[in-house]
Structure 1
C-alpha cells in the first residue's frame, strides 16, 4: 500500500488559499470542532516533569494507547513557537496516533504552555541540548523494550525535530522515523518573510510572544528581562535585544545561524526523515526547501496547498497531516 503524498492533498476549492488555510488552523472554531480529539488525548494522560542535568526543568504528557494489546511504539510530538502540548495540531496528531496504537508523548519547550515559572532563563531557539536530553529521558521512561520510536514536529518544532534527528546517532536516540511539517529552515529568511508577509502574521506571533515575556517578567520581578520600550519593538528588534542581552551569541546573525538547517546542514542526516511543506506557505518560503542538500534517507514532499502547518482538508477542519504522519509512522514500525 502506497503512502500518502503531498500531491494527494486536494482540499475544496475555497480552501486552496494559503492564507485561508493558515488562519483557519489556529481559529477558535477549529478548537471547538476538534474538542473530541483533544479529549481523546488528554483523558488518561499523565503529566510529567524532567529535571535535566543542568537543572533545567521541562514538562510533557504521556498518553497510552488502548486499541492494541501492545503499542506499535512511542511517538513523540513537538509543538511550534508559542504553541504547547495542548495546541490543536498537536492534539489532532496525537489522537490519530492513539487510534493507530501508538503511545504518544508531547513535550513542552521551555516557557511554553504553563511552564514559565520553572526556569529563570528565557526560551530561545538554540536550546537544542535540553530538547535532546528531555527526548532521551522520555524514551527511557516510556518506551517499551525494543519498540520503535518516532518523532514529529511542526514549524519551529519541525526545526527542532530535524536537529534532534541529526544528533540522534551520537545521543543514542533510537529514532525509526522523523517527520518535520513546515519546519523553519533558514531563520534569516524566515524572519524576513514574517516581516514582509501580510501584517496579521507578525502581529499574531508578536502578540503571543509579548504576552509570554510579560508573564515571565511577572513571575520573576527581580529579573531585568525587557523594558516597556523593548517590548514595543517589532520581531527583529525584540529578537536582537534578547540575543544581545540574554544569550551568548552576541549578534542576531550568529543566533539565527545557530538554529539554521539550510543548505548542506542536513546532508549528514542518518535517521529516515520526511519533510512536508506547502508551496503556498506564507511563513516559510518554499525556495528554502528546494535549496537543501539532502541525503537518500530524507524525503522532501512539497504539496501545492496547505498554508503553514495547516493542510485542512474539509469543512470539519480536519488536517491531512493526521493520516500522513500516522501512515509513515506505521510503515516505520512495520520495517522495524
Structure 2
C-alpha cells in the first residue's frame, strides 16, 4: 500500500507561501474554520498525570478508541514549544488517528498547558529524561500491540531523541514521526533572529514570557527572572535561562544538548520519518540537508508547507493528518 509523500502536497496560491502556511497553522481563524470532527479526540478524553521520574509529574490526555474493531495501537502526540495537548494541530491529528482506530495519548511537556504548578524547576528543551520516563509509564499503563509517536517542531525533536533512547529504556516503541523538527537549535535560533521576519520572534517571545509569568505566579517564593531579563530578545532570554537555571555553563552547550544535527541520528534503531518543507521560515532546510541518517530514518522534504502548516485549503485541514495516519496504519 502506497503512502503519501511530501511531493504529493501541492497547494494552490496563496498557500504556496511558507509564511502564510506558518501563520495559519496556529491561528484562531484556523481553529474556527476546522470541521467539528477535527476536535473529536477531546470527547471522552481522560485527563491524567504521568510519572516523569525523580518526582516529576507531567500531564496528558488519553482517549480510547471507541469502535467495534480492536484498537490498532497507541498513538502518542507531542506538541511544539509553548503549545499543549489542546493545540489545533494536536487535536486535528489526534482526531484523525482516533477515527482510524488508534487510542491516543496527548502529552504536555513540563510547564505547558496548565501544568506550571506541578514542578518547581523550569522547563527547558534538554529535559528529555523525564519525557522518556513518562513514555515508559504510558506504555505500562496503556499497553498496546504497537506504539507510535508523532511530534511537531520542538515536539518532533523530542520524538526523535525519545526514539533514540527507547530501546535502552525498554519502551516498546515501534515508530516515530517528526513534523518540521528542530534539528540544529543554534542555527534555528540564529534563523529566527536574523533571517525570519520579526513577528515570528515576537510571537514566540510573547508566549514564552506569558508562560514564565504563570510559573512565577505558581511559585511566588522563587525568583526565576529579573524584569530586565524578560525584556531581552530570544537569544538573551534563553541565555539567561541557561546560566541561571541549568548546569550547562553556556548557551552553546545548552543548544548542543538537544541538537540532533550531523550524525546524531545514526544510532537510530527504531523506524522514523522526518517531514519538513523547503519554505519553512522557522527551521532552515539546510539543517535537514546536512543530516547523516541511517536506513531506518526517512527524510522527506516537501516544496511547500511552511512550519507545521501543510494546510490544504479553506477548510484549514492539514495534509499531515493523512501523512501521519497512513504511516501509522501501515504498521
Q: Specify if TM > 0.5.
A: yes
Look up the match of 2:190: 192
Cα distance in structure 2, aligned partners of 1:160 and 1:194: 20
| 172, 175, 185: which one aligns with 1:174 | 172
SS at match of 1:266: helix
SS at match of 1:23: helix
Look up the match of 2:16: 16
Within 5 Å, give how 1:56-135 maps onto structure 2.
Answer: 56-135=56-135
Q: State the shift of 1:38 in Å.
A: 5.1
Look up the match of 2:42: 42
Within 5 Å, give how 1:224-243 maps onto structure 2.
Answer: 224-243=223-242
Query: 1:31 and 2:31 equivalent?
Result: yes
**Residues 23-58 of structure 1: CA distance to partner in whole angstroms, max 9, x if unpaired?**
011111111123614541111010101243300110
| 5+ long unaligned stretches in structure 2 | none
CA spacing shift, 1:50–1:330, aligned 2, 3 Å: same
Query: 1:250 and 2:222 equivalent?
Result: no
Query: 1:290 and 2:284 equivalent?
Result: no
TM-score normalised to the size of structure 1? Answer: 0.97
CA spacing shift, 1:35–1:48, aligned 2, 3 Å: farther
**Residues 206-240 of structure 1: CA distance to partner in whole angstroms, max 9, x if unpaired?**
00000000111111111010011000000000000
- Contact preservation (8 Å) 2:52, 2:131: no
- Contact preservation (8 Å) 1:56, 1:130: yes
- Contact preservation (8 Å) 1:132, 1:164: yes
Cα distance in structure 2, aligned partners of 1:15 and 1:38: 20
Q: State the shift of 1:103 in Å.
A: 0.2
Give the length in aligned residue pairs: 330
Within 5 Å, give how 1:147-226 maps onto structure 2.
Answer: 147-196=145-194, 197-226=196-225
- Contact preservation (8 Å) 2:58, 2:134: yes
Cα distance in structure 2, aligned partners of 1:228 and 1:38: 40
Look up the match of 2:316: 317
Give runs of ≥4 in structure 1 deviating > 6 Å: none
- Contact preservation (8 Å) 1:51, 1:58: yes
Cα distance in structure 2, aligned partners of 1:151 and 1:52: 17
- Contact preservation (8 Å) 1:68, 1:101: no
SS at match of 2:267: coil
- Contact preservation (8 Å) 1:62, 1:103: yes
SS at match of 1:188: helix
**Residues 262-300 of structure 1: CA distance to partner in whole angstroms, max 9, x if unpaired?**
000001101000000000000000000010010001100
| 5+ long unaligned stretches in structure 1 | none
Q: CA RMSD for the aligned pairs?
A: 0.9
Q: State the shift of 1:3 in Å.
A: 0.7
SS at match of 2:254: helix
More deviation in 44-53 or 181-190? 44-53
SS at match of 1:52: strand
Cα distance in structure 1, aligned partners of 2:69 and 2:275: 31
